[in-house]
Amino acid sequence: MATVHETLQDLRSEYVGEANENLGHIDRLIHRLDASPDLTALEQLHRRFLGLAGSGYTYGFPLVSTLGRKGERICAPLLQQAQALSPGRLVACRAVLDDLRAEFDRLQAAYTAGPWVRRGTSRTQPWAITLAS
């Protein structure tokens, strides 16, 4: 049976591996908000950023939390006032997204390079790795 540390490491790998899908959703929501004011999209964008703020550090990735919080704070006041994102705030959201992409790219690279070794056998989950003993 895997140790707690190994299980946590697998969860971290899974989290990093799933990030692109989440960032893709954020990208599409920003495009929707760029095309027209849409409170539903703004609410979803806020929730996505809040989710990253809450989960990043929990998984051991503090910068993900910091960036998620930054995005959340761009959206939250507008949501409370039912206002659309201004062009400036859209640019700020895109900048947060770019920073998140860069961070997850870095994490994905770190999780597929040494001193890690593959632990899982699944070829579809190349990030299933753990620390070399």
Partner 1 sequence: MRILIIDDEPNIRRIVQMALARVDAMEVLEAPSGTDGIRKARESHPDAILLDVMMPGLDGPSTLAALKSDPGTAAIPVIFLTAKAVLSELEQLRDLGPAGVLTKPFDPMALAGQVRATLRES
Rounded Cα gap, residues 22 and 59, in angstroms: 15
The contacts of residue 80 (CB under 8 Å, 6+ apart) are none
Is the separation of the CB atoms in 78 and 84 below 8 Å? yes
* Using rule CB under 8 A, residue 94 touches partner 1: no
- Gyration radius from the chain CA atoms: 17
Q: Would you say 25 or 91 has its CB closer to partner 1? A: 25
Question: Looking at 11-19, 88-96, 99-107, 111-119, which segment touches partner 1 (CB under 8 A)?
Answer: 11-19
Q: How far is the CB of 76 from partner 1 (least distance, A)?
A: 8
Q: Would you say 13 or 33 has its CB closer to partner 1? A: 13
Helix axes 87-111, 4-35, angle to 10 degrees: 150
How many residues form the binding site for partner 1 (CB under 8 A)? 20
* HSE-up (13 A, CA, CB side) for residue 120: 17
* Using rule CB under 8 A, residue 95 touches partner 1: no
Rounded Cα gap, residues 36 and 4, in angstroms: 47
Q: 35-64: which residues touch partner 1 (CB under 8 A)?
A: 47, 50-51, 53-59
* Using rule CB under 8 A, residue 14 touches partner 1: yes
Which tokens in the block code for residue 77? 């006041």
Q: Would you say 56 or 107 has its CB closer to partner 1? A: 56
| Positions in the binding site for partner 1 (CB under 8 A) | 4, 7-8, 11, 14-15, 18, 47, 50-51, 53-59, 65, 69, 72
